[in-house]
Amino acid sequence: MRKLIIGLAMATLSTTGVSTAFAAGKLSMPVPGAVDTAGRKVLTFIAKDPPGARCNGNLQVAAEVANTYRVPIQLLPSSLVPGLPAPAVFYGTQLLVADGKDYNGAASFQIVSDVLEIEGVDKQENTGLLFNEAVRRDFDGLKATIKSGGK
């Protein structure tokens, strides 16, 4: 039954634009702190030094994910992990997005949440304020400013 569910999820991911290479777990790298002390996979966001637009956008995705899911998240500057691409996002040791690879390092809430849903990650009992209409409008404005480079 689990294989059937995973197969259906991978088929769904491929039609929604999420890389099946990740879904199949084929791309993994040695990410420090990929698992927390409780054995849970950690969502790792790696940012360039100094942060660029994609890195800042990924940090906004981290905020959205933390607002919705109960998943450990770490934010690392590329100087602490010189062997890994930046910007990049990993779930455990599995690559989600990376500079020069899938999505060129620019994560989205949908890409990350699709993976977390497949993995069965628990959701927050109460979502945070980022989905409150007034806060969301300001948050989306901030993301648009980041994407435009502050213009």
Tell me the one-letter amino acid at 87. P
User: Total structural domains in the chain?
Assistant: 1
What would the pLDDT profile of 110-144 be if each residue is shown by its tens digit? 999 999 999 999 999 987 887 778 887 887 888 78
Which has the higher per-residue pLDDT, 122 or 19?
A: 122
Residue 113 in domain: yes
Q: Is the pTM of this model over 0.75?
A: no
Residue 7 in domain: no
What is the structure's pLDDT at 10? 42
Q: Which domain does 75 fall in, by range?
A: 26-147
Q: In this predicted structure, what is the pLDDT of residue 27?
A: 73
CATH code for the domain in which residue 47 is found: 3.40.30
CA distance 89 to 108: 10
- For 31, other C-beta atoms within 10 Å of its C-beta total 23
Confidence of residue 51 (pLDDT cuts 50, 70, 90): low
Element of type H or E holding 36: none
Assess if residue 63 is contained within a domain: yes
Contact 119, 91 (CB under 8 A): yes
What integer pLDDT is reported at residue 16 of this predicted model? 40
Residue 81 lies in a domain: yes
Q: Is 77 exposed, middle or buried (0-12, 13-18, 19+ CB in 10 A)?
A: middle
Rg of the chain over all Cα atoms, to the nearest angstrom: 15
Residue 5 phi, psi (nearest 5)? -65, -45
Task: Identify which of 46-55, 112-121, 141-150 has the greatest average pLDDT.
Answer: 112-121
Residue 34 has pLDDT above 70, yes or no: yes
The residue with greater pLDDT, 151 or 132, is 132
Q: Does 120 reside within a domain? A: yes
5 in a structural domain: no
> Looking at the domain assignment, is residue 139 inside a domain?
yes
